[in-house]
Amino acid sequence: MASVAKDGKSKRVQFIDPESGCRRGISLGQCPARVAETIARHVEELVSAKIRGHTISSATSAWLSDIGNKLYERLVKVDLVEARHKAPAVTLGQFTADYIESRRADTKPRTIINLSVSRRELVRFFGEDRAMGEITSGHAIEFRSAMLGRGLADNTVRRHLGRARQFFAAAIDKGLVQKNPFFHKQIKVAVRGNPDRRQFISREVIDRVLAVCEDDPQWQAIIALARYGGLRTPSETRALRWSDIDWGNNLITVRCPKLERLERHATRTIPLFAELQPILLRAHAESPEGNDFVIHGRLRKGCGNWRTQFERLIRRSGQEPWGCPFQNLRSSREVELSEVFPWFTVCSWMGHSREVAREHYMSVPAEHFARAIAGEIAPPKIRAESVQSVHAEPCKTSQDQGGEDGKTAFCGQKMRGCDTLRTQDIAPYTPKGSRTPVSRMRT
What are the DSSP calls for 236-293, one per residue? HHHH-BGGGEETTTTEEEEE-TTTTTSTT-SEEEEE--TTTHHHHHHHHHTSPTT--B
What is the CB neighbour count within 10 angstroms for residue 167? 20
Kindly report the pTM of this predicted structure. Answer: 0.55
CA 338/CA 324 separation, integer angstroms:
21
pLDDT at 7: 78
Phi/psi of residue 5, nearest 5 degrees: -120, 145
CA angle 213, 214, 220 (to 5 degrees): 65
Instruction: For residues 174 and 165, give the distance between their C-alpha atoms in angstroms, rounded to a whole number.
Output: 14
Nearest 10 degrees: CA dihedral of 253, 255, 261, 263? Answer: -10
Nearest to 209 by CA among 299, 307, 308, 313: 313
Q: Give the span between the Cα atoms of 413 and 427, in whole angstroms.
A: 24
Backbone Cα Rg of the chain: 38
Residue 384: Cβ-neighbour burial (10 angstroms; 0-12, 13-18, 19+): exposed
DSSP-assigned letter for residue 425: G
DSSP state of 50: H
Q: List, for residues 341-378, the tens digit of each pLDDT value.
A: 998 999 899 888 778 767 766 767 767 777 777 777 66
Tell me which residue of 264, 232, 229, 269 sits closest to 249, measured CA to CA: 269
Question: Cα–Cα distance between 300 and 284 in angstroms, integer?
Answer: 15
- What is the predicted pLDDT for the residue at 389? 40
- Tell me which residue of 11, 128, 151 sits closest to 71, measured CA to CA: 11
Q: Which domains does the chain have, with CATH numbers?
A: 3-77 (no CATH), 92-192 (1.10.150.130), 197-373 (1.10.443.10), 389-443 (no CATH)
Sheet of 3-7: strand order equals 3-7, 10-16, 23-29
Length of the chain: 443
pLDDT score, position 159: 94
- Following DSSP, what letter does each residue of 331-346 receive, concatenated? HHHHHHHHTTS-HHHH
The predicted pLDDT at position 24 comes to 87
What's the pLDDT score for residue 175? 83
Cβ neighbours for 417, distance < 8 A, ≥ 6 positions apart: 395, 396, 400, 401
Q: Tell me the residue type at 258.
A: K
Q: Is 363 left (phi over 0), alpha (psi -120 to 50) or beta?
A: beta
Sign of CA dihedral 222, 223, 227, 232: positive
Instruction: Say if CB 346 and CB 337 are below 8 A apart.
Output: yes
- 208 burial level (CB within 10 Å; 0-12, 13-18, 19+): middle
Q: Which residues of the chain have pLDDT under 50?
A: 380-427, 429-432, 434, 436, 438-443
Angle at 422 between CA 420 and CA 423, to 5 degrees: 120
Classify residue 143 by burial, with Cβ atoms within 10 Å: 0-12, 13-18, 19+: buried
The C-alpha atoms of residue 351 and residue 302 are separated, in whole angstroms, by 25
